[in-house]
Structure 1
Amino acid sequence: MEAILRVTDTLKSFRETRLSALRPPTEFFDVQRISRPADLNTATSRISYNTRYFSGNYLLIIIMLAVYAVISSPLLLIALLFLVGGFSAINRFAPDPVQFGDTTITQKHLYTALFVIGLPLLWLASPVMTFFWLVGASGVLILGHASLIEPGVESEYATVEGQV
C-alpha cells in the first residue's frame, strides 16, 4: 500500500512540474511560425529558447516514442515484464526462506534465478539498440521542431527582463 502511495505522489509531482509546462497543440503545431533559420546562430538561439519553452511537449514526445519502442518490440516487452514481475513477485510472495525437503530456498536464490534467466532474455531483446533509436528519433524530431519554429514575441521580453 505504501508503494502505491509513493507512485501516486510521484505521478502528482511529475504532473505538477513537467506537464504543467505543456503548451497547447495549436501553439506547438503553429504552421504560421515555421521558417528556415537564416544561419547557425539563429538556429542555435531558436533551439535554446524552444527547448525550454516547449519542454513539456518534448517530454511527452519522448514518452510516446519510448512506449512505441517497447510495444513494437515484443521480446523487449516480455523481458521487461518478466524482470519487473519477477522482482515484485519475489518481494511480495517470498520474503522468508522456503523449505523444500532438504533444500532451503531464500530470496537470494530466487533473485539469482531471475537474473540468470531474465538478463540473457533482456540482452536478446536489444535494449541498447532501442535506447539509441529513441535518442536518435527524439533528437531529430525535437531539434528539427525547435530550429524551425520561430520564437514568439514573448522571447524578446525574456531577454529584457533578464537584463533589468
Structure 2
Amino acid sequence: MEYVGKASEVISHFRQTKLSTLKPPQEFFDHRQISRPKDLNDATTRITYNTRAFSGNYLLVILLLAVYAIILNPLLLIAILFLFGGFVLINKYAPEPMQVGNRVITQKTLYAALFVIGLPLLWFASPVSTFFWLVGSSAILIVGHAVLMEPGVESEYQGLEGP
C-alpha cells in the first residue's frame, strides 16, 4: 500500500508541475506564428523560449511517440509486460519459499527464472533501437517546432520587472 501512496504523490506532483504548463492546441499549432528564423542567433533564441513555453506540450509529444513506438513493436510490449508482470506476481504471491515436490523454490529462484526468460525476450525486442528512434523523432519534431514558432509578445517583456 505504501507504493500506491508514493505513486499518487508522484502523479499529482507531475500533474501540478508539467501538465499545468500545457498550452491549448490553438496556441501550440498556431500557423500564423510560423516563420523562418533570420539567423542562427534568432533560431537559438526561439528554441530557448519555446522549449520553456511549450515544455508540457513537448512532454506530451514524447509520451505519444513512446506509446506509438511500443504499439508498433508488439514484442517489446510483451517483453515489458512479462518482466513487469512477473516482478509484481512474484512479489505478491511468492514472498515465502514454497515446497514443490521435493524442491524448495525461493523468491530468488523465481526472479532468476524470470530474468533468464525475460531478458533474452527483451533483447530480441530491440529496445535500444526503439529508444534511439524515440530520441531522434522527438528531437526532430520538438526542435523543428521550436525553431519555426515565433516567440509570443510576452517574450519581449520577460526580463522587465514591474514598478
Bin of the TM-score, shorter chain as denominator length: over 0.9
Q: Partner residue of 1:143?
A: 143
| Other-structure match for 1:59 | 59
1:70 & 1:10 partners in 2: Cα distance? 23
Q: Hey, what does 1:80 align to over in structure 2?
A: 80
Alignment of 1:1-164 (within 5 A): 1-161=1-161
Question: Which deviates more, 78-87 or 10-19?
Answer: 10-19
Secondary structure of residue in 1 paired with 2:99 = strand
Q: CA deviation at 1:7?
A: 1.9
Task: Provide the C-alpha distance between the structure 1 equivalents of 2:160 and 2:124, rounded to a whole number of angstroms.
Answer: 53
The alignment covers a number of residue pairs equal to 163
SS in 2 for 1:155: helix
- Note the aligned Cα RMSD (angstroms): 1.4
Q: Which amino acid aligns with 2:28?
A: F
Deviation at 1:13? 1.2
Give 5+ residue unaligned stretches, structure 1: none
User: Alignment identity in percent?
Assistant: 65
Give the structure-1-normalised TM-score: 0.96
Distance 1:39 1:155 in 2: 18
